Homo-oligomer: A and B are copies of this chain.
Amino acid sequence: MQPSVDFWYELASTYSFLAAERIEALAEERGVAVRWRPFLLGVIFKAQGYDTTPFNIIEAKGRYMWRDMERWCDRLGVPLARPEPFPQNSLLAARTALALPDDARPEFSKAIFRAEFCEGRSISDPAVIADAVRQTGFELETAVAAAQTDLVKHALRKETDEAQRLGVFGAPTIVTPDGELFWGNDRLEEALDWARGRK
């Protein structure tokens, strides 16, 4: 059986963006399948007693993160922009990601991340979401309608609950089938190696 991992990401998260840019090539090299699982990290922060990201709470940590993003984006050859506000409200984008078929979700999510962090666009704007859906080739009206159903709203809540139950406290987090967590864009390689049994 092909080894696989779950890629838990938050569409408002800078390091989830980097991981989304990197994970497909790394997984393909290693023959590992990746399941893209968007969730709402803000809900988990709230349960911990925080109403925003640590990058906004601790100034030095935020300053470091943005500089680190500059270095990573330089290396990946993509521009970096800071959306206002940061973090963005990712609710509608996350619902739309879940509403799409599995094989359109990576493309859509990467388009959202690039709009947000390469162009500084607002990902709560339905026009930005529509652009991202169009890039997947999936039918726009169907996706928009599906994202507003109770079924999808409920599914996103369930996914976020599941992330929390697994012990996810930040994004991105890779979870392997044996229940190991690897937190952070800088641990992708290690997580994928773990999944195929090389420790």
Q: Which of A20-28, A138-146, A180-188 contacts B (4 or more CB under 8 A)?
A: A180-188
Q: Which of A30-38, A56-64, A84-92, A105-113 contacts B (4 or more CB under 8 A)?
A: A56-64
A48 within 8 A of B: yes
Cα of A28 to Cα of B86 in the assembled complex, Å: 40
How many A residues touch B, CB cutoff 8 Å?
24
| Set of chain B residues within 8 Å of A68, measured between Cβ atoms | 183
| Set of chain B residues within 8 Å of A74, measured between Cβ atoms | 199
Cα of A187 to Cα of B68 in the assembled complex, Å: 11
B186-A184 in contact (CB<8A): yes
Cα of A90 to Cα of B112 in the assembled complex, Å: 45
With A67-B181, A75-B199, A181-B67 known to touch, is A61 a contact of B186 (CB < 8 Å)? no
A60, A61, A184 pick with most chain B CB within 10 angstroms = A60
Distance in angstroms from A33 CB to nearest chain B CB is 22
| Set of chain B residues within 8 Å of A79, measured between Cβ atoms | none
A5 within 8 A of B: no
B60-A168 in contact (CB<8A): yes
| Set of chain B residues within 8 Å of A168, measured between Cβ atoms | 60
Cα of A58 to Cα of B49 in the assembled complex, Å: 9
B199-A58 in contact (CB<8A): no
Closest to A173 in B: B64
| Set of chain B residues within 8 Å of A181, measured between Cβ atoms | 64, 67
A64, A71, A75 pick with most chain B CB within 10 angstroms = A64
**A-B residue pairs in contact (CB < 8 Å), sample of 23:** A48-B58, A48-B60, A54-B54, A60-B164, A60-B167, A60-B168, A60-B169, A61-B169, A61-B170, A63-B167, A64-B167, A64-B169, A64-B181, A64-B183, A67-B180, A67-B181, A68-B183, A71-B180, A71-B199, A74-B199, A75-B199, A184-B186, A186-B187
Query: Can you name 7 extra interface pairs (CB under 8 A) apart from A68-B183, A74-B199?
Result: A48-B58, A48-B60, A54-B54, A60-B164, A61-B169, A61-B170, A186-B187
